[in-house]
Structure 1
Amino acid sequence: MTMPQHPVPDDPITRAEPLRAAVYARVVGLICSGDYEPGAAITEAALSRALNVSRTPVREALLRLEAEGVLQSALARGFTVRPLLRGETDELYPILAALESLAVTTAVPVSTATLDQLAATLAELEACTDPVRRWRLDTAWHSGIVAASGNGHLASMVTRIRTNLSRYELTYMREVRSRAAADREHREILAALGAGEGDRAAELLRDHWYGGMRLIQDWIKGRS
């Protein structure tokens, strides 16, 4: 029987890194890069060999991702990346919209340095055509807004939701390349932040995420 091929990380884990956190971060990176698509199997043995670590931290990472809703497991069948389900988007996108809106209202006024960095990331995002790179830039742009709030717990919650949604967004971006509307919405949000209009920026962010939810849901419906 042919064994499934498993992606190999570009940067092996060094012993100087905290092992549990490093393994978790590498597995998240593989999922968020699209190396493991929805429905793909993930095995402890293959990952432990690829990362050159024991199976214990790998299993801990996979169990954590299962608890976070990214993976699912079946008795004696290991783990798989959860499939795309419209009902899940109904739950996750409103949470993300609320969290990022809260971040904006606590981040304003945003420093000039942060605004400049957001503008630079957005310019790179608008010029990018590679779907995985676009997703990473989009994530970095939104993360920059959240980080400006100075709320570490809020940032961790947003990261967890974005990781869960990555399997939707990456698959969508691979199949639907037009992102002009999203780029325009980003510009409007950035303009509101630059003007110190926190409530306006929060409203635009909520609209942005709810609009993204509807696009994803229509796309899922069209694929079924």
Structure 2
Amino acid sequence: MTEYLSLKDHVYNYIVEKINNGELIANSKVNETAISESLKVSRTPVREALIQLSSEGLLDNVPRKGFVIKKLTKEEAKETYFIIGALDGLAASLSAPLLTENHMKEMDFYIQSIELAINTENFQMYHKMQEAFHNVYLSVCPNKSLVSLLLKSEKRFLKSVYHFEDKEELKKRLLVTNDEHRKMLELFKNGELGELERYIKEVHWDTDKVEIIPL
């Protein structure tokens, strides 16, 4: 069945993409009129999308100023990392028994694609491929409410990871992250669910990583 997006959802996705690609940065004001004109929609779906993004923690609704891209504090980022790690680890362990050999091959394909994206400095492709890697197991997770909460939390870091001035340092860090994907795939294949959950929570989403993210 084809899923049709509402006008609000189209606006929502548009704004998220702008945040992700760095066109909208922390502390900058969201221009409602510009978005309305660019997408050729009324102000109503724009306002609805902004309210949703505000409720999800990506925007602040500042009196007399409007909606502003939220800048996370280190403490807020650490707390969110901890929550994401717990949710992602649990989702992976719930999904693991439902994964097929094709799912494993798909995750391996995305790992190779991520490697290529990093080495060619195609960081937008990196974002899409790593998202696709995680979506393989999240798509079969039987607890959909858990997945929804996880994805909502992850959105708070869309703008954080891809804007290092030192590209070599960024590449180095992303390659380490992709090595973690390899370890996760190994644990999925071996059916080590307890270790998989622990690894995702304590390593992949290690709260100490927040110290090196340019929030």
Q: TM-score range by the shorter chain?
A: 0.7 to 0.9
- 8 Å CA contact 1:190–1:201 kept in 2: the answer is no
Higher relative contact order (CA 8 A, sep 6+): 2
The CA deviation at 1:114 is 1.1
Residue in 1 that maps onto 2:96:
108
1:36 aligns with 2:24: yes
Deviates more, 1:84-93 or 1:141-150: 141-150
Instruction: Output one character per residue of 1:144-196: Cα deviation in whole Å (capped at 9) or x when no partner.
Output: 22223133222211211111111222335975221222121111110110112
The CA deviation at 1:73 is 2.4
The CA deviation at 1:215 is 2.7
Once residues 107 and 159 of structure 2 are traced to their aligned partners in structure 1, the CA distance between those partners, rounded to angstroms, is 24
Which amino acid letter does the alignment assign opposite residue 147 of structure 1? S
TM-score scaled by length of structure 1: 0.83
Once residues 147 and 44 of structure 2 are traced to their aligned partners in structure 1, the CA distance between those partners, rounded to angstroms, is 28
Residue in 1 that maps onto 2:195:
200
1:60 aligns with 2:48: yes
The CA deviation at 1:32 is 2.3
- 8 Å CA contact 2:96–2:137 kept in 1: the answer is no
- 8 Å CA contact 2:161–2:213 kept in 1: the answer is no
Once residues 213 and 10 of structure 2 are traced to their aligned partners in structure 1, the CA distance between those partners, rounded to angstroms, is 34
Cα 1:124–1:100 change in 2 (3 A) is same
CA RMSD of aligned residues (A): 2.1
For residue 26 of structure 2, give the secondary structure of its aligned residue in structure 1.
coil
- 8 Å CA contact 1:32–1:167 kept in 2: the answer is yes
Instruction: Output one character per residue of 1:102-129: Cα deviation in whole Å (capped at 9) or x when no partner.
Output: 1111112221111111111111001112
Which amino acid letter does the alignment assign opposite residue 165 of structure 1? F
Q: How does 1:140-159 map to 2 (within 5 A)?
A: 140-159=132-151
- 8 Å CA contact 1:114–1:148 kept in 2: the answer is no
Cα 1:172–1:86 change in 2 (3 A) is farther
1:217 aligns with 2:206: no
Provide structure 1 residue ranges, at least 5 long, that are not aligned to the other structure. Answer: 1-15
1:136 aligns with 2:128: yes
Residue in 2 that maps onto 1:97:
85
For residue 60 of structure 2, give the secondary structure of its aligned residue in structure 1.
strand
Once residues 31 and 101 of structure 1 are traced to their aligned partners in structure 2, the CA distance between those partners, rounded to angstroms, is 26
Cα 1:168–1:160 change in 2 (3 A) is same
1:82 aligns with 2:70: yes
Instruction: Output one character per residue of 1:24-48: Cα deviation in whole Å (capped at 9) or x when no partner.
Output: 2222222223221222221211110
Which amino acid letter does the alignment assign opposite residue 66 of structure 2? G
Once residues 86 and 104 of structure 1 are traced to their aligned partners in structure 2, the CA distance between those partners, rounded to angstroms, is 26
Deviates more, 1:184-193 or 1:154-163: 154-163
1:46 aligns with 2:34: yes
Deviates more, 1:166-175 or 1:94-103: 166-175
